[in-house]
Structure formats: C-alpha cells, structure tokens
C-alpha cells in the first residue's frame, strides 16, 4: 500500500482534493458575493440619486417663477447657500412650454439634446415623474427626472433636471476593480492556509498508514497509539487496533492449533514406532510379533479416529459441515444413545439413569445430536468414579427443550471451567483417566449446539459432580451450517 507521504501522486492525495474542492467553492462564493455587493451598491446609489433629484424638484417649485412663458429664478443673491442651490438646479436643466418650445436649457443639457415634443407630451400627460438615463455624444451618462411644472401664471410647462452619473459609476468601477483584484490574493492565501490545515488534520492518517505498513504477522502485537482527540480519526485508529487484535487472536489460535495437532500426532506415532522397533528386535515367536502388530494397529486406529475428529471439527469451523435438520423424537434418539452406554457404564460400575418423557419432537440433525449426547455421556462415564451415577434427562419447555447430562463424578474446578470448550483443553488432574481424552469432545459439542442455535450451560462442583444443560429450540432452521 502506498504511503501518503511518499508514493501517492499529489493530485490524488486527499489533502489536495479537499483543498481544491474547498478552494473552488470559496472562489465561487467570493465571485457571487462580489456580484451581489456590486448590485447592492448600484441600487443604493440609484435610490440616493433619485431622492436627491426629488429634493431638487421640490426646490425648483420654490425658486422658479414663470410669468407668461418667462422663467425667473427667485433667490437672495446675498445668500450664498440659496445661490448655490439655484446654481446646482440649473446645471442640468431644461424648461419648455407645453408645445416643446425651449424656454431655458443649460449647456450640459444641450449635450444630451432637448426632449422630443412627443416625449414632452407623454411626460405632461403622466402624473408620475419620468426617469431616464441618457448619454451625451461624449459617452457621459446622466439621469434625468422630468415632469409637468405649473407656473405662477397657472400654465403647464415641462421641466427636466438631471445629474451626472460619472462619480457614481467611478465608485462602482473602483469597487469592482479593487474587489476582483484582491480576489486572487485572497484565493492564494486561502489555498495555502487550507493546504496547511488539511495536511495537519490528515497527518494522523499518514501515521496510520505507516503504522499499518509496519505491522506484519510477526509483530501483530503492535498497536497505533490513539491521539486522545476523540474524533473520527481516533475512531478509525480504535477500529483498526481492534481488527489487529482479532487478527492476532486468530494467528495465536492457528499457531496453538498447529502446535497441539503436531503434539497429538507425535505421541502415537512415537508409540507405534517404538512398538514395531521393539517387536523387530526382541520378538522371537510369531505370536509375539502378532501382539506387537495388533498393539500398533490399535494405536493407528486411535490416530485415525483423532484425525477424523480433527477433520470434522475443521469442517465445522469452516462452515462446510451441512446439517440436515429434521423433526426428530429426541427421547427416542436419547434412548438409543443411552443404550450404547449400558455396557461401558456397567464396566465402570456406574448407574445409568434416564428421565425421558414419552415423546419430545424437535428439529435437529439426527447424526450430530447423537454425537453431542455421546460426547457428554462419554465424559460423564469417564470422569465418574465407580459407584457413581450418570443421569440423562430430556425436558421439553414450550418451544425449547433442555437436554441435561449430569453425573456424580469428580467435577471441574471453577478456574478450569471457562476453558473446557477450547480445543485440546484438558483440565489438569492427577487422575490417570485424563490420558484417555484428547480435549476435542466438548469443542465439538459446543459447535453442534451453536449450529442448532442453542446454548450450553455447565455447573460443576469438585468432588460432587457436573451438570451440562443443552438448550435447543424445538423448531431450528431447516438446514444450517456449522460455522
Ligand atoms: P476430553 O476428551 O479430554 O474429555 P473434552 O473436550 O470432552 O475432552 O473435555 C475437556 C475437559 O473437560 C476434560 O479434559 C475434563 O477435564 C473436563 N470435563 C468434561 N466433562 C467432564 C465431566 N463430566 N466431569 C469432569 N470433568 C469433565
């Protein structure tokens, strides 16, 4: 896997792509904001100009007198303020009579050209003021406000006042220019900052990659230290560590399994070899040879039984053992298995007791159910001293059934109880009967119970006996895998 810091192309790096996406978004946002600001600026200016011209129009009524078509500006020439107002009113100004005959026109208005008689007629007819943006031949823009003006002689005249837009346009232009000139600088600063921040934020990811590269099957005990930030990356590190822990456990189990299997195979092979060697060197008669071969054969049979059990267990664990679930009378099946234990129990001088109802139907795999019972009963017979009792009960309870195997045997010390379902586990004991077991029986039992979606519970008291309770649903799935 490529490490983020070294082998990944820059453009493929998450930090680059995050930064690029964010930057594109930022540029679009800034451009949109710029356009919106410009629009607001223009409309605010327009409103201000209109309000100003409306004020001027009001002032026009105060300062302009018209008598028989002659305009007279009435103001105090000694008052500079009034003089200034009138001078401003007359800067862009047109006054005509109702027929369009020009009565007064300022030089600036002359550049725009007087309004046509049709426009004047329209303006006089309309009650609302007429607003127009016009351009001189030199390209200067003006906004005009025109409308009817009633003179002191009671006649209707046409007046138009205006204002140059050059200053306002310059403000808008300056804003646009400055804004869009600053934009690349902002984008550059933002891009660099974003690059730095994303790189810093993603650095733990790089550490994670490096750490995972360092973990191999020989050092699965390595863990990535959490940063303590409690963020998504810490969650990722935690998940990763837990995954490595599971892997480590599986590897450990595999190693243990290989060691256990080799150990289990080595002992009988050594025994067989020893027996055959001794026979070869010391047997004098044909009978002695035959005995040695028989003993070796017995050992190889045990060996092949072990290999078969191992094979079944690994098939079960890898999900290859298909169960054939069918409705069975568990009491009948239990009785059949129990019958097989009559002779061994007698030999071990044990009482075999059955507590079975007349019938108990449940969906189980007949063969595996037999194995389950055989293993539990075999253990009870094996670990119960002469004079003791082994009891098998089947107790239906609604849609489940309890199968109880209990004995008055030596019991299992509490510290060993959690391990008895592990493969090859044998609770340590001074009792020589332990030599007979291989520590596979209960692993098998557990797998069979799981495959039937049931559960198994053990209670044991040292010196008093053990009680294994298997609870199975009465209607298990029609077919299921041991996995
Ligand atoms: P084994 O072939 O050794 O019996 P099992 O997997 O069947 O292997 O059992 C694991 C261990 O659990 C046994 O070695 C034994 O110590 C203990 N055990 C199982 N059943 C009983 C029992 N009924 N009484 C006492 N100990 C038991």
Q: Among the atoms of ligand 1, which is closest to the Cα of residue 380?
A: 23
Q: Among the atoms of ligand 1, which is closest to the Cα of residue 384?
A: 24
- The DSSP H or E segment spanning 293 is helix 286-317
Q: Give the model's pLDDT for residue 402.
A: 96
Cβ atoms within 10 Å of 138's Cβ, excluding its own: 6
Q: Give the model's pLDDT for residue 2.
A: 45
HEC per residue, 321-383: CEEEEEEEEHHHHHHHHHHHCHHHHHHCCCEEEEECCCCCEEEEEHHHHHHHHHHHHHHHHHC
Q: How far apart are CA 335 and CA 357, in angstroms?
A: 11
In angstroms, what CA-CA distances link 436 with 156, 218, 346?
Answer: 130, 35, 18
Q: Give the model's pLDDT for residue 5.
A: 45
Pocket of ligand 1 (CB under 6 A): 375, 379-380, 383, 407, 409-412, 420, 425-427, 437-443, 466
Distance 249 CA to ligand 1 centre (A): 24
Residue nearest atom 2 of ligand 1, based on CA coordinates: 437
E-assigned strand segments in 51-106: 64-67, 70-73, 93-97, 102-105
| Tokens (6 digits) for 418 | 């959690």
Please classify residue 40 by burial: count the beta carbons closer than 10 Å to its beta carbon, then call 0-12 exposed, 13-18 middle and 19+ buried: exposed
Q: Among the atoms of ligand 1, which is closest to the Cα of residue 421?
A: 6
Sequential DSSP letters for 138-150: TS-EEEEEEEEEE
End-to-end CA distance of the chain: 32
417-451 pLDDT, tens digit each: 999 998 888 888 766 544 456 788 999 899 999 99
Tell me if 92 sits within 8 A of 53, measured CB to CB: no
Q: Give the model's pLDDT for residue 234.
A: 85
Helix axes 14-63, 166-214, angle to 10 degrees: 160
Q: How far apart are CA 206 and CA 296, in angstroms?
A: 61
Sort residue 364 into left (φ over 0), alpha (ψ -120 to 50) or beta: beta
| pTM, full prediction | 0.54
Q: Give the model's pLDDT for residue 236.
A: 86
Helix axes 166-214, 232-282, angle to 10 degrees: 20
Residues shown for the chain: 483
- DSSP 3-state assignment of 226? coil
Residue nearest atom 21 of ligand 1, based on CA coordinates: 379
69-80 b/e (C-beta count within 10 Å ≥ 16 → b): eebebebeeeee
Q: How far apart are CA 292 and CA 298, in angstroms?
A: 10
Q: What angle do CA 85, 88, 92 make, to 5 degrees?
A: 145
DSSP state of 453: T
Distance 326 CA to ligand 1 centre (A): 29
Q: Give the model's pLDDT for residue 476.
A: 60
Best substitution site from 260, 407, 420 to test ligand 1's pocket, by max atoms within 8 Å of Cβ?
Answer: 420
Best substitution site from 423, 426, 457 to test ligand 1's pocket, by max atoms within 8 Å of Cβ?
Answer: 426
- DSSP 3-state assignment of 463? coil
In angstroms, what CA-CA distances link 162 with 133, 159, 428, 434?
Answer: 9, 10, 111, 116
Q: Give the model's pLDDT for residue 3.
A: 45
Tell me if 108 sits within 8 A of 92, measured CB to CB: yes
Distance 262 CA to ligand 1 centre (A): 21
Cβ atoms within 10 Å of 438's Cβ, excluding its own: 16
287-346 pLDDT, tens digit each: 888 988 898 898 899 888 888 888 887 887 777 778 889 999 999 999 999 999 999 999
Q: Give the model's pLDDT for residue 432.
A: 53
- Over the chain (483 residues), what is each successive 10-residue block's mean pLDDT? 54 81 90 93 92 93 87 90 92 93 93 92 90 90 93 90 90 91 90 87 80 80 81 86 88 82 83 88 87 89 85 78 89 95 95 94 94 95 96 94 96 94 81 63 92 95 96 72 46
In angstroms, what CA-CA distances link 419 with 40, 252, 381, 415, 424?
Answer: 79, 16, 20, 8, 10
Q: Give me the residues paired with residue 79 across strands.
A: none
């Amino acid at each position: 896997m490529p490490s983020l810091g070294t082998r990944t192309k820059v453009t493929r790096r998450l930090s680059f792509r995050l930064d690029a996406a964010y930057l594109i978004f930022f540029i679009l946002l800034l451009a949109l904001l710029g356009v919106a600001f410009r629009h607001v600026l223009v409309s605010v200016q327009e409103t201000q100009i209109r309000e100003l011209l409306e004020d001027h129009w009001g002032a026009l009524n105060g300062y302009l007198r018209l008598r028989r078509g002659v305009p007279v500006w009435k103001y105090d020439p000694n008052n500079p303020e009034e003089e200034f107002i009138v001078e401003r009113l007359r800067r862009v100004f047109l006054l005509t009579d109702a027929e369009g005959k020009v009565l007064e026109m300022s030089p600036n208005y002359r550049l725009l050209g007087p309004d046509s008689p049709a426009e004047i007629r329209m303006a006089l007819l309309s009650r609302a003021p007429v607003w127009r943006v016009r351009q001189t031949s030199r390209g200067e823009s003006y906004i005009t406000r025109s409308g009817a003006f009633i003179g002191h002689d009671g006649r209707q005249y046409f007046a138009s006042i205006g204002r140059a837009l050059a200053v306002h346009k310059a403000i808008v232009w300056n804003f646009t220019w400055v804004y869009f000139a600053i934009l690349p600088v902002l984008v550059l600063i933002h891009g660099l900052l974003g690059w730095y921040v994303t790189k810093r934020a993603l650095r733990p990811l790089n550490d994670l990659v490096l750490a995972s590269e360092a973990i191999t099957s020989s050092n699965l005990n390595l863990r990535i230290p959490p940063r303590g930030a409690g963020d998504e990356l810490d969650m990722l590190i935690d998940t990763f560590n837990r995954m490595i822990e599971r892997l480590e456990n599986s590897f450990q189990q595999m190693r243990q399994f290989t060691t256990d299997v080799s150990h289990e195979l080595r002992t009988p092979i050594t025994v067989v070899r020893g027996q055959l060697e001794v026979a070869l060197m010391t047997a004098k008669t044909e009978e002695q040879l035959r005995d040695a071969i028989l003993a070796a054969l017995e050992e190889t049979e045990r060996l092949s039984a072990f290999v078969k059990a191992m094979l079944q267990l690994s098939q079960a664990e890898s999900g290859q053992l298909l169960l054939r679930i069918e409705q069975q009378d568990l009491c009948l099946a239990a009785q059949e298995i129990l019958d097989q234990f009559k002779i061994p129990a007698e030999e071990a001088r044990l009482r075999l007791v059955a507590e079975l109802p007349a019938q108990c139907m449940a969906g189980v795999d007949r063969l595996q159910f037999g194995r389950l019972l055989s293993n539990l009963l075999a253990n009870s017979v094996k670990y119960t001293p002469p004079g003791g009792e082994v009891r098998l009960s089947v107790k239906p309870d609604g849609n489940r059934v309890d199968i109880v195997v209990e004995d008055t045997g030596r019991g299992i010390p509490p510290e060993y109880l959690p391990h008895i379902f592990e493969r090859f586990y044998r609770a340590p004991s001074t009792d020589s009967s332990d030599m007979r077991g291989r520590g596979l029986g209960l692993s098998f039992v557990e797998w069979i119970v799981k495959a039937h979606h049931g559960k198994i519970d053990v209670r044991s008291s040292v010196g008093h006996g053990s009680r294994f309770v298997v609870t199975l649903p009465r209607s298990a799935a029609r077919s299921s895998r041991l996995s």
